[in-house]
Structure 1
Amino acid sequence: MALIDELKEAQKDAMRAKDKVRLGTIRMAIAAIRQREIDDQITLTDADILAVLTKMVKQRQDAAQQYDDAGREELAAKERAEITVIETFLPQPLSDAELDALIDEAMADTGATGMQDMGKVMGQLKPKVQGRTDMGALSARIKSRLNG
């Protein structure tokens, strides 16, 4: 089942269950996906939708942190509840061992030997790990491998 169809089914289920937080979050996700489709005049693939959902999670994590810093616990809790809902549509995160194996494979496939090959390695890994790991942490991990 396509990810957009999963979201629509979950939206119907949330309506039936009268789960306002889940329903609102799913509606927000579908709206963000539709907006991106309209802006780019394309139909998003599952990988594109994962990128949108991942971005939504990151935005909510940042907002929750800012609310915590400002002492607004009720708003931070709302952001975290939305993160929980969105994460149910994301694939399971990769373990450190799985990431290391993927990095090794990408470095071998691209013949990467130094920092000048960073783009090649990231380009090969991004579609495989989108939505399953923090891209910033992945980038740092690749840099340390290429420098080491």
Structure 2
Amino acid sequence: MSLLERLNNDMKQAMKNKEKEKLSVIRMVKAALQNEAIKLGKSQLSEDEELTVLSRELKQRKDSLQEFENAGRSDLVEKTKTEIQILELYMPKQLSEEELVQLIKETIAEVGASSKADMGKVMGAIMPKVKGKADGSLVNKLVLQHLS
């Protein structure tokens, strides 16, 4: 089942169950997907493109959450946390830190990296492998640890 089909089914279910928060998030994701398809001039996005949109939406929410916490806006913090939980339902299973470290070690060996100067090579090779399955800042931090 494609992401769009899943969103449509969940949207119908949220309407029946009168889950306003979930319905709102699903509509927002669908709009973001449709906007991306229009921007790219396609009728339907590939799974990879859908994942990119979902990741972007999730990252925006996490950034907003940090800002709301810093500003002491508890009302918006709770709303944003709920949105993040709903968005995470549609993301692929996240890699554990152990799995990520193993993948980083393999990638470092693949590209023959030996110092921090090779950071760009390693990141360029690993990010497509972990797209949507791991947070970029965590990957960056772990790669730095293994290169130093």
Q: Same fold (TM over 0.5)?
A: yes
8 A contact 1:4–1:30 mirrored in 2:
yes
| Counterparts of 1:44 and 1:118, CA distance in 2 | 31
Give the 5 Å matches for 1:26-37.
Answer: 26-37=26-37
Inter-CA distance 117–44: structure 2 relative to 1 (3 Å threshold)? farther
Single out whichever of 52-61 and 64-73 deviates more from structure 2: 64-73
8 A contact 2:14–2:20 mirrored in 1:
yes
For 1:72, the equivalent position in structure 2 comes to 73
Give the 5 Å matches for 1:99-114.
Answer: 99-114=100-115
| Counterparts of 1:104 and 1:97, CA distance in 2 | 11
Please say if 1:9 is aligned against 2:14: no
For 2:131, the equivalent position in structure 1 comes to 130
| Counterparts of 1:70 and 1:112, CA distance in 2 | 41
The Cα of 1:71 is off from its aligned counterpart by 2.5
Identity %: 38
The Cα of 1:85 is off from its aligned counterpart by 0.5
| Counterparts of 2:12 and 2:83, CA distance in 1 | 17
| AA in 1 matched with 2:146 | R
- TM value normalised by structure 2: 0.88
- TM value normalised by structure 1: 0.88
| Counterparts of 2:20 and 2:83, CA distance in 1 | 11
Count residues with an aligned counterpart: 147
| Counterparts of 1:116 and 1:47, CA distance in 2 | 29
Single out whichever of 78-87 and 106-115 deviates more from structure 2: 106-115
| Counterparts of 2:125 and 2:2, CA distance in 1 | 23
| AA in 2 matched with 1:63 | S
| Counterparts of 1:107 and 1:64, CA distance in 2 | 33
8 A contact 1:22–1:85 mirrored in 2:
yes
| AA in 2 matched with 1:38 | I
| Counterparts of 1:4 and 1:113, CA distance in 2 | 43
The Cα of 1:87 is off from its aligned counterpart by 0.5
In structure 2, runs of 5+ residues without a counterpart are: none
